[in-house]
Amino acid sequence: MEGERAEGDELIDDYVDCLMSLDTNARAGPSDALILGAPVVEGAVGGGTEPDAMRDFASAEDPKEPVLGMTFESDEAAKAFYNEYARRLGFPFRVGRSRRSKGTEEVVVMKRFVCSREGVYKKKQTSPDEATRKRERMSMREGCNAMMEVVRESDHWVVSKLEKAHNHDLGTCSTKVGYLRARGLLGGSDKVTMLGPDEMAFLRQNVLGEGGDAQGLIDYLKKAQANDPAFSHAIQVDKNGCVVNVFWADARAKAAYRHFGDAVTFDTSYKKNKYMMPFVTFSGVNHHLQPVIFGCAFLMEETEFSFVWLFETWLSAMGGKAPCSLVTDQNRAMKAAIVKVFPNSCHRFCKWNILSRTKQKLTHAYTEHPTLRDELESCVLESETIPTFETKWTSIIDKYDLRKNSWLQAIYSIRQKWIPLYLMDTFFAEIAPTWKLETMNDFYKKYFNTKTTLEVFLNQFNLSMASQYEDEAKADMDTYLNKATTKTASLIEKQAASTYTKAIFSKFQEEFTESLGFIIQKTSDGCISKYSIRKDEDPTETFYVTYNASNKMAKCSCKYFEFSGILCRHILGVYIIVDPRTLPPDYFLRRWTRKARDDDALLEENNNYDDEDPSQSITSRYNVLCVDAIRCAEKGSGSEAVYKAAKDILQKAYQEIIAYERNPGRGSQRDAININEDVTIDDAMNDQSMPDSGPKDVHLTVGNKDNFV
């Protein structure tokens, strides 16, 4: 039986690097010359990260050549070994076949790694009409029999079949092809038709459509720029002027970042499926616990140079303000780039991806011990203190005799990099341990298949974004029209109900209700008093709260407020005792409240711009006006009536600007136009009946730079 590709298989090499905490540096790129259109170093694809994947499984003493009877800890270890072997000899390979066991628990029991020239290409029969529409693709399959097959035996894997001889020359196929396929950027081996410098041209063709010139994407960006004056995009090209990486962010993405950009996820979900487009997003969560997008990119190279370029470009588009925290799927090149571009941001590995990889790594153990998975995940997600987590982890390892498991050793050794308990003093906007934000992987599952074109993909993504904005508008309306239901007569609960959105209040209410079930004891009196908080049924879990009577502020040892931005049940329990009226306003983070997107924040930012001298550059003046435009757009789109009024008034304003531009002296004679704060200008600018404002040649306008493509 042909085995299906397991979700997350393509992450293994990168995770080996980060999970084993190897300190060797990634291959340096020319990061000092990161400007729009800067040439990419030839041969940079691959970034030098893949050879290090072997370190998860083999020591320096391991043999370089495969032999019959060789054993591996897992099928992934065998794959990594064969990958290094193939890379060293100079041939690409693929998983040619796999077999699963029979029964209710289908476990992979065999994998065969074959040269990519294995097999014979069979041309599909097509109708004459289809033949004229489809371009003939060359195949690299030549009937090569080189392969290595491994089978599962108890708790390890053994090489059962081996053929080293190839029927073609070795070393002529660049190792970049294997890397691109491993990164999910190339499909089947029959699509690899060019070598050397042409591989990147093929990659662009594979991702960006016919011809490989990315014209479809360029047209998309130009159209977006014309419809959205605040739209930013940048294109990185190689020394031949060909597109390598592309970034873009519209006005809504920038506005969302101003409000919710304190905690960011860099989503590379495409790596979970080798057929996905290399589409990445910067995302976060809004005040309704809904996903928001801060920018997008096609990332066709995963080198440190490319990551640095992307991160710096995105940061400039977002006004230069780095996030407080950043969650990513990690590889060596990305890690090095993050250190350079976000030195003050707390970088964390995604816990869900590590747990997903753990499921694959421990397939045999999970099958043998059905309760192991639940116990491990409960240990990671539900432990409330570090001592509790470490005690539970040790107990599980001993219970199932897993002390020698290298994967568990690796992820435990870097627990401070991905277990939330060790990072509770940093804000991540995560309101519950088991809460999971929707990722691009969910989008792929809904809308993407192997036949999806770039045009269809982008259109579908735009529709998905429009749906997100609509969901937020509906949640806003629900929050304002329907009062949240309180469960007690407490003034604190009523205060929270009138301040938070309904989604956040629901979480606050859970914490508030739970606070009533704790035993609270004062351990120290005075201006700064101390309390111990515990539950009757679990006296081992004790938390400590300090309360400052002078400013009515409190801190808890659990650090839940610092991590999520919502007060924990322990502090709430103390407040009920010491000051049952209302909570200090500092405990209501604006990003979680009904007013998260209100004008005050934008006005404050506008004032910050006004502090600068707008005569310094066109960009400075442009950014100041964009803040006003976005503020009007957010208010003016609230209802159809306001929208129509805004369109009419702002068209008049636009005509007045054009007239003033032609004759500055008539400014004092202009008609009186009342542009109030409830009117949108952004939508008015999209009206095609308005005069053309001139060519849109500026593709990227961010920060204090003017970059042109």
Q: Which amino acid is at 708?
A: F
* Distance from C-alpha of 201 to C-alpha of 82, rounded to nearest angstrom: 27
pLDDT at 225: 86
pLDDT at 35: 24
Report whether pLDDT(295) > 90.
yes
Share of the chain above pLDDT 90, in %: 36
Alpha helices in 532-617 (DSSP H): 560-564, 569-578, 599-610
72: left (phi over 0), alpha (psi -120 to 50) or beta: beta
The H or E element spanning position 100 is strand 93-100
**Residue 677 CB contacts under 8 Å (≥ 6 apart), including other chains:** 599, 631, 632, 635
What are the backbone dihedrals phi and psi of residue 495, each rounded to the nearest 5 degrees, phi first? -60, -45
Higher pLDDT, residue 342 or 608: 342
Question: 3-class SS at 679?
Answer: coil
Report whether pLDDT(251) > 50.
yes
pLDDT at 698: 33
Structure confidence by residue, pLDDT tens digits, 152-178: 988 889 999 999 999 887 753 333 333
pLDDT at 583: 92
Structure confidence by residue, pLDDT tens digits, 565-587: 999 999 999 999 987 788 999 99
Mean pLDDT of 202-217: 51
DSSP 68: T
105: pLDDT confidence band, cut at 50, 70 and 90?
A: low
**Residue 24 CB contacts under 8 Å (≥ 6 apart), including other chains:** 52
The H or E element spanning position 524 is strand 519-524
pLDDT at 392: 95
* Distance from C-alpha of 42 to C-alpha of 31, rounded to nearest angstrom: 14
Q: Which amino acid is at 458?
A: L
Share of the chain above pLDDT 70, in %: 67
pLDDT at 581: 84
Sheet holding 71-72, edge to edge: 71-72, 156-163, 147-153, 108-115, 93-100
What are the backbone dihedrals phi and psi of residue 156, each rounded to the nearest 5 degrees, phi first? -145, 175
**Residue 352 CB contacts under 8 Å (≥ 6 apart), including other chains:** 436
Higher pLDDT, residue 554 or 235: 554
**Greatest mean pLDDT range, 224-238, 467-481, 643-657:** 467-481
pLDDT at 129: 58
Structure confidence by residue, pLDDT tens digits, 592-643: 999 998 854 444 444 444 444 545 555 556 666 766 776 677 677 767 888 8
Higher pLDDT, residue 503 or 236: 503
Structure confidence by residue, pLDDT tens digits, 449-486: 666 777 888 888 888 888 888 999 899 989 888 889 99
Chain mean pLDDT for the chain: 74
pLDDT at 502: 95
Mean pLDDT of 120-129: 64
Dump strand ranges (E) for 144-199.
147-153, 156-163
- Lowest average pLDDT, out of 16-25, 138-147, 323-332, 571-580, goes to 16-25
Contact 598, 515 (CB under 8 A): no
**Residue 695 CB contacts under 8 Å (≥ 6 apart), including other chains:** none
pLDDT at 547: 95
* Distance from C-alpha of 232 to C-alpha of 224, rounded to nearest angstrom: 9
Contact 172, 89 (CB under 8 A): no
* Distance from C-alpha of 373 to C-alpha of 531, rounded to nearest angstrom: 36
* Distance from C-alpha of 292 to C-alpha of 295, rounded to nearest angstrom: 9
* Distance from C-alpha of 471 to C-alpha of 478, rounded to nearest angstrom: 10
Burial (CB < 10 A; 0-12, 13-18, 19+), residue 195, is middle
* Distance from C-alpha of 8 to C-alpha of 10, rounded to nearest angstrom: 5
Report whether pLDDT(257) > 50.
yes
